[in-house]
Amino acid sequence: MPGFELFGELEKQEVNDVLDNGVLMRYGFDGMRKGHWKAKALESELQNTFQSKHVQLVSSGTAAVSVALGSAGVGAGDEVIMPTFTFVASFEAIMMLGAIPVLADIDDTLGLNPEAVEAAITPKTKAIMVVQMCGSMANMDALKAIAEKHNLLLVEDACQAIGGTFNGQPLGSVGDLGCFSFDFVKTITCGEGGAVITNNEKYYTNADHYSDHGHDHVGSDRGAETHPFLGYNFRISELHAAVGLAQVKRLPEFLDIQRRNFNIIREALSTIPEVVFRTVPEGGVESCAFLNFFLPDLETSRKVIEAFKNGGVDACWNYFDNNWHYIRKWDHLKNLKSLFPISKEVKEGLEYLQTRTFEKSDHYISRNISCLIKLSWTEEEVKQRANKMAELIKSVL
Ligand X SMILES: *Cc1c(COP(=O)(O)O)cnc(C)c1O
Catalytic choice (126, 144, 186, 374)? 186
Residue in 70, 111, 172, 194 binding ligand X, rule: CB under 6 A: 194
Residue 170 in the binding site for ligand X (CB under 6 A): no
SS3 127: strand
Residue 4 in the binding site for ligand X (CB under 6 A): no
Return the number of the residue (138 or 269) whose C-beta is nearest ligand X: 138
Residue 211 in the binding site for ligand X (CB under 6 A): no
Residue 287 in the binding site for ligand X (CB under 6 A): no
Return the number of the residue (195 or 389) whose C-beta is nearest ligand X: 195
Our answer to whether residue 186 is catalytic in this structure is yes
Task: Give Cβ neighbours of residue 100 (< 8 Å, ≥ 6 apart).
Answer: 77, 78, 79, 80, 94, 124, 345, 346, 349, 350
Asked if residue 308 lies in contact with residue 291, where contact means CB atoms within 8 angstroms, the answer is no
d(CA 248, CA 235): 19
Residue in 1, 15, 131, 327 binding ligand X, rule: CB under 6 A: 131
Return the number of the residue (181 or 300) whose C-beta is nearest ligand X: 181
Question: What CA–CA distances, in Å, run from 375 to 5, 266, 384?
Answer: 7, 16, 15
Shortest distance, position 385 Cβ to ligand X, whole Å: 23
Asked if residue 179 lies in contact with residue 156, where contact means CB atoms within 8 angstroms, the answer is yes
Residue in 49, 84, 86, 370 binding ligand X, rule: CB under 6 A: 86
Residue in 89, 95, 137, 154 binding ligand X, rule: CB under 6 A: 89
Residue in 71, 181, 247, 301 binding ligand X, rule: CB under 6 A: 181
Stretch that binds ligand X, among 60-68, 246-254, 274-282, 366-374 (CB under 6 A): 60-68
DSSP state of 86: S
DSSP state of 182: -
Total number of residues that touch ligand X (CB under 6 A):
13
Residue 61 in the binding site for ligand X (CB under 6 A): yes
Alpha-carbon Rg for the chain, nearest whole angstrom, is: 21
Shortest distance, position 87 Cβ to ligand X, whole Å: 4
| Closest by Cα among 160, 150, 202 to 177 | 202
Asked if residue 180 lies in contact with residue 159, where contact means CB atoms within 8 angstroms, the answer is yes
SS3 388: helix
- Residues annotated as catalytic are 186
Applying CB under 6 A, the residues found at the interface with ligand X are 60-62, 86-87, 89, 131, 157, 159-160, 181, 183, 194
